[in-house]
């Protein structure tokens, strides 16, 4: 078995990322779509403002959380476009918005469910919270820990779920051993988001930083921590439950209408408890509230084809 240091660098830093990278380049001949109300991209309605203008406007029929009023009073049009591929599908452009005078960025997309880090996420007979196929494949495991030969490690009698694989997240507790299932962020207990590495790097988002997530369809919100490298629009089981999103890792999720507001540099690159995530999140939103007091509708620019 590799030395612990090597495991920490290779297994946690690489294998626990999604193993899947979005591409920021526009390939010749690849169809592009804007995030615009006129398009239905891959089954999503990806309009940046879908539900946003309604929920931010004072005439909204939704019962918006008070924290969202702070966001609405500070947000500015999202005009920065990035291109992403989605599981090998054609590229499309995503708008990334920013808040003035503060390190924060946001986007609106759907939510797929991430079970990584939950001790009962994956089982050899595929009876875990999520399908084993979503943890990778022999020679390319990315959601479970392996030995030096690439064989997935199984939890023992003293572990939380004996017989299950040890599922990992990109964020981990460096004070524990890599074979301890509690080293990682438990998707079933902790609200966390996943981000593509390219987006995180570009925006200065580090593992352990905080986020505020809102379901624009029902007004429910939750604080979260950035704990896994993955696809854009991906959240833990616990986050989905807090937002009223179907949380089954195999069949749950929501196609659109989820606002992700992230705060680069806000964490300390270590896992946190739910209480700590809430406390730190409240501090970040209170800082936004000091910038503007007036509630104003959120507007965006429409991009022509």
Model's pTM, two decimal places? Answer: 0.75
In a domain, 177, yes or no: no
Domain span holding position 217: 52-81+96-114+187-289
How many domains does the chain contain in total?
1
pLDDT for the residue numbered 93: 61
CA 130 to chain centre: 17
Q: What is the CATH number of the domain that holds 254?
A: 2.40.40.10
The top-scoring range by mean pLDDT among 60-64, 73-77, 184-188 is: 184-188
Distance CA 65, CA 213 (A): 11
In a domain, 281, yes or no: yes
In a domain, 165, yes or no: no
Domain annotation covers residue 279: yes
- Measured CA to CA in angstroms, residue 210 lies from 15, 203, 266, 278 at distances of 23, 13, 6, 9
Domain-embedded: residue 122: no
Q: What is the pLDDT of residues 85-99, one digit of tens each?
A: 444 444 456 678 877
Decide if pLDDT at 83 tops 60. no
Partner residues linked to 213 by β-bridges:
222, 260
Q: CA dihedral defined by 200, 201, 204, 210, rounded to 10 degrees?
A: 20
Q: Rounded to whole angstroms, how far apart are CA atoms 44 and 46?
A: 5
% residues pLDDT > 70 (the chain): 63
Top-confidence residue, 224 or 287: 224
- Cβ proximity of 58 and 79 under 8 Å: no
| pLDDT-wise least confident of 17-21, 29-33, 178-182, 260-264 | 29-33
* DSSP secondary structure, 174-216, as one string: TTS-TT-GGGB--TTTS-EEEE-HHHHHHHT--TT-EEEEEET
Check residue 28 and give its pLDDT.
28
Q: Is residue 224 part of a domain?
A: yes
Give the pLDDT band (50/70/90) at residue 80.
Answer: low
In a domain, 77, yes or no: yes
pLDDT (0 to 100) of residue 290: 52
Q: If you ran DSSP here, which 8-state letter would residue 85 be given?
A: E
Cα–Cα distance, 67 to 211 (Å, whole number)? 12
For residue 261, what are the β-bridge partners?
A: 106, 212
Contacts 24+ apart (CB under 8 A), 278-285: 278/223, 280/210, 280/223, 281/210, 281/211, 281/212, 281/223, 281/224, 282/223, 284/104, 284/210, 284/212, 285/67, 285/70, 285/71, 285/212
Confidence of residue 25 (pLDDT cuts 50, 70, 90): very low
């Amino acid at each position: 078995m590799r030395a612990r240091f090597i495991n920490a660098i290779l297994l946690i830093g690489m294998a626990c990322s999604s193993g899947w990278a979005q591409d920021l380049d526009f390939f010749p001949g690849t169809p592009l779509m804007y995030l615009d109300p006129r398009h239905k991209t891959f089954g999503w309605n990806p309009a940046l403002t879908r539900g946003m203008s309604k929920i931010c406007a004072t005439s909204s029929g939704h019962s918006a959380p008070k924290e969202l009023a702070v966001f609405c009073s500070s947000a500015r049009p999202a005009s920065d476009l990035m291109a992403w591929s989605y599981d090998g599908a054609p590229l499309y452009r995503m708008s990334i918005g920013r808040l003035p005078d503060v390190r924060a960025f946001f986007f609106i997309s759907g939510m797929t469910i991430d079970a990584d880090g939950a001790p009962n996420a994956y089982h050899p007979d595929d009876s875990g919270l999520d399908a084993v196929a979503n943890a990778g494949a022999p020679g390319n495991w990315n959601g479970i820990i392996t030995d030096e030969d690439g064989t997935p490690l199984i939890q023992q009698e003293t572990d939380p779920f004996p017989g299950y694989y040890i599922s990992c997240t990109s964020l981990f507790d460096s004070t524990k051993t890599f074979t301890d299932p509690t080293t990682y962020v438990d998707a079933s207990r902790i609200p966390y988001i996943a981000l593509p590495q390219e987006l995180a790097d570009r925006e200065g988002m580090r593992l352990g930083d905080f986020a505020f997530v809102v379901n624009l369809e029902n007004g429910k919100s939750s604080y979260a921590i950035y704990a896994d490298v993955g696809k854009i629009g991906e959240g833990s089981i616990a986050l989905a439950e807090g937002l009223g999103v179907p949380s089954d890792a195999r069949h749950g999720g929501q196609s659109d209408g989820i606002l992700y507001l992230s705060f680069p540099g806000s964490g300390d690159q270590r896992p946190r408890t739910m209480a700590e995530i809430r406390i730190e999140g409240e501090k970040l939103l209170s800082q936004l509230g000091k910038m503007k007091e007036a509630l104003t509708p959120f507007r965006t620019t429409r991009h022509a084809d």
